[in-house]
Amino acid sequence: MKHPEWIAILDYGSQVTQLIARRIREQKVYCEIIRFDTTAEELMKRAPKGIILSGGPCSVPDDDSPKCDPALFDLGIPILGICYGMQLAAQTLGGSVKPGLKREYGKAMMTITKDSPLFKGLAPDIQVWMSHGDKVESMPEGFEAIAESDNCPFATIQNLDRQIFGVQFHPEVVHTPQGKEMFWNFAFNICKCSGDWEMSKFVEDTVNQVRAQVGNGHVLLGLSGGVDSSVVAALLHKAIGKQLHCVYVDNGLMRYKETEEIEDLFGRAFGIDLTVAHSGDLFLGKLAGISDPEEKRKVIGGTFIEVFADKARGFGDTVKFLAQGTLYPDVIESVSPIGGPSATIKSHHNVGGLPEDLQFDLVEPLRELFKDEVREVGRELGLPSYVVDRQPFPGPGLAVRIIGDITPERIEVLQQADLRVREEIMKMPNHLDVWQYFAVLLPIQTVGVMGDNRTYESVVAVRAVESRDGMTADWYKLPYEVMDSISNRIINEVPGVNRVCYDISSKPPSTIEWE
């Protein structure tokens, strides 16, 4: 889907390039991250309202560092260079970039020294986040410095006649508190965007796009019950109705009553054609005696493909399309300046590696969206909050939360313990602040006393973390009374458990999941 009003972000490899896109989209302006070497001619075919050159890890003066098409600066389109992007713009236009005598990293105070549409409405002294070794030594002709820091006399530069701006700091990170206002100024004061990127408009446009792509054909979707596949199901159902066929594989490793919830919502409430494969016995049989986490994942992934493919064959030649919940971060991976373009198909909750006899055209209606935008679409489509706000859940299910051997008895213990963790945390008014929370069943037993009897039973660990994107995470400081309720309920209500521990490790060095 191509939008008439958009901002192009050329990616030079910064780890926070995605944050630029998120900040622009927060202004209800559509944007895309594209390859660093996209030519001016290619860009003009879609006529962006503005261009942003991202930061990056390389050094602009190096011969092998990624460069841009110099013709970009002659298009008459406003340009904002960020960190590496500013240095690249300066050097390309005739200025010079040199290694700084002192690397500037972390919070810094910047003083605005000259009026600029980029800083409209901002106080003269601003906290910013710096992360650079090189810096602009001399500005190109026609440019002026409009802000400075102690270590950077050219913290921001501009050429108003050509509408080209450069900032040495990173306005996209939270450590630049007024970065959002700067992006607003760039999008609206400088690029003259109207801000019409609405989820209701996205739904309308996507429905029309899917109808045009599919025509009278039929679409198969592997429904996991997670946010992405649930929103895809609701969106495609709105677009093509009975032409959508969903297959849900119950591997016996789902959370308590999860399969029933999915059947009720999609099969009964939405009226979607839903095939449920009750394959728990098959999965558990293949997992018997396997305790290594990587081996568990391979067995579960391979068995899933086997079951899904069998159900897919049951539709014969009716189905020509396969729908997947690919999101924009999956797509962005293909524009890395290091690896070059490549097709990226997510297989975590979706279907990768299908047998050769099953050839489908892909339908990926969410490939333009970030996770928070997917949730907005879900709300727009009327999905209930327990689906839209659902936490991340691993593809192998509870298998990676049962440390050691997997048995029906251990699955039941974990399901019941996990249910109580979720019930108690969801009573908190701010429970949506917790990124993820769950129980883990450990492969050890400890001595306890219940009544007058000695017990020797299992240990459950409770994990709760706060995070923005799952890449890093800190353990969540649950109130003591909540932890107390969780522990009491698990020990008193779940047979086979006599001890509860709380995981207080962060990612890194730990991971969110235990396996």
Residue 423: CATH number of its domain? 3.30.300.10
In this prediction, residue 101 has a pLDDT band, given cuts at 50, 70 and 90, of low
Domain harbouring 152, CATH code: 3.40.50.880
Is 65 annotated in a binding site? The answer is no
Q: Do 139 and 241 fall within a single domain?
A: no
Range picked from 138-142, 172-176, 333-337 for highest mean pLDDT? 138-142
Is 503 annotated in a binding site? The answer is no
Nearest alpha carbon to residue 399 among 267, 304, 497: 304
Exposed (0-12), middle (13-18) or buried (19+): which is 254, by Cβ within 10 Å?
buried
Q: Do 382 and 312 fall within a single domain?
A: yes
194-239, pLDDT tens digit by residue? 998 888 889 999 999 999 999 999 999 999 888 999 999 999 999 9
Is 506 annotated in a binding site? The answer is no
Domain assignment of residue 513, yes or no = no
Q: Do 41 and 165 fall within a single domain?
A: yes
Residue 31: CA count within 13 A, CB half-sphere: 31
Domain assignment of residue 233, yes or no = yes
Q: Do 318 and 437 fall within a single domain?
A: no
Q: Do 367 and 444 fall within a single domain?
A: no
Q: Do 378 and 273 fall within a single domain?
A: yes
Q: Do 327 and 206 fall within a single domain?
A: yes
Domain assignment of residue 288, yes or no = yes
Give the end of a domain, one of 190, 213, 235: 190
Q: Is the pLDDT of residue 409 over 70?
A: yes
User: Containing H/E element for 335?
Assistant: none
Give the end of a domain, one of 129, 159, 190: 190
Which residues touch 311 (CB under 8 Å, ≥6 apart)? 247, 249, 275, 277
Percent of the chain's residues with pLDDT above 70: 93
- Report the pLDDT value the prediction gives residue 342, as an integer from 0 to 100: 31
Is 230 annotated in a binding site? The answer is yes
Which residues touch 247 (CB under 8 Å, ≥6 apart)? 220, 221, 222, 223, 274, 275, 277, 308, 311, 312
Structurally, how many domains does the chain consist of?
3
| Single-letter residue type at 135 | K
Q: Do 348 and 226 fall within a single domain?
A: yes
Q: Do 47 and 161 fall within a single domain?
A: yes
Q: Which residues are known to be catalytic?
A: 83, 170, 172
Q: Do 363 and 234 fall within a single domain?
A: yes
- Angle, CA 317 vertex, CA 312 and CA 322 arms, to 5°: 50
- Neighbour count for residue 165 (Cβ, 10 Å): 28
Is 224 annotated in a binding site? The answer is yes
Q: Is the pLDDT of residue 459 over 80?
A: yes
Q: Do 317 and 365 fall within a single domain?
A: yes
25-74, pLDDT tens digit by residue? 989 999 999 999 999 999 999 999 999 999 998 889 888 899 999 999 99
Is 226 annotated in a binding site? The answer is yes
Average pLDDT over residues 234-245: 95
- pTM (2 d.p.): 0.79
Whether the CB-CB separation of 12 and 58 falls below 8 Å is answered with yes
351-402, pLDDT tens digit by residue? 567 777 778 899 999 998 888 899 999 999 999 988 898 888 888 999 999 9
